[in-house]
Amino acid sequence: MTIFVVFLALFTSRRRTMKRFRRAIAWYGRVVTVLPFPFIRVYYEDHSKNDPPEPYIFVCNHRSTADPFLISLLPQEVIQVVNIWPFRIPVLGLYARLAGYLDINSMPPEVFFEKVLTLLREKVSVVFFPEGTRSVGRKMGNFHGSAFRLAKQAQVSIVPLCMSGSDIVFPRGSTFLRPGTIRVRRLSVILWNDYKDLNVFSLKNRVRDVISNELSLMENEI
């Protein structure tokens, strides 16, 4: 895939090359999620309805180190906002940096905000795990406000994304995968007009409640 992207870079613009590069990373992620089949089954459920055009800010719950790989199921061009540790992974960390993934803790807030706003202007969607770290058990942690301050500043739609089962397949503290089913459910967007009158605190709690309620439904369906 690297050779393919480098070859394309000789003939296309940087913007088009980056788009192909990010899609190549998504292809890699999809291969990783499919390889353990049938012991591990991964399902992507799109419950969106008449969504406006991209870009979006995706807001996800976070239970497992496997969660960033599940973002590859999204059809959009995306980058992820992460903590520093994914960049320390050999090879994959380098590719994440080259693809424009952002470490929220390594730069001043104003620089971080400007980088994200530039990506949104380029129609690149941005994925946040606003808990900041994996939740302990099935109860979500509190949400940090960065994703929601950005959404209000950029006036873009927010898409809640629910991940269920990843904590069972790849439990905290384990180095081994376990058989199980992972479900990723994309919900309908929360439009700018729906949240423009909310402050950041109210908005983040509203989105957290939407994800929490949907996760309860998903786990009752099993």
The dihedral over CA atoms of 164, 185, 211, 134, expressed in degrees to the nearest 10, equals 40
What average pLDDT does the segment 38-61 reach?
92
Q: Is the pLDDT of residue 77 over 90?
A: yes
- Over range 11-37, report the average pLDDT: 90
Domains of the chain by range and CATH? 2-221 (3.40.1130)
Please state the rounded mean pLDDT for residues 131-146: 86
Is residue 92 predicted with pLDDT exceeding 90?
no
| pTM of structure | 0.91
Statement: residue 175 has pLDDT above 80: no
Residue 132 has pLDDT above 90, yes or no: no
pLDDT over threshold 90, residue 157: yes
Asked whether residue 173 carries a pLDDT value surpassing 80, the answer given is no
Mean pLDDT of the chain: 90
How far is Cα 194 from Cα 56, in angstroms, rounded to an integer?
14
Local confidence band at 109 (pLDDT 50, 70, 90 cut-offs): confident
Model pLDDT, residue 222: 60
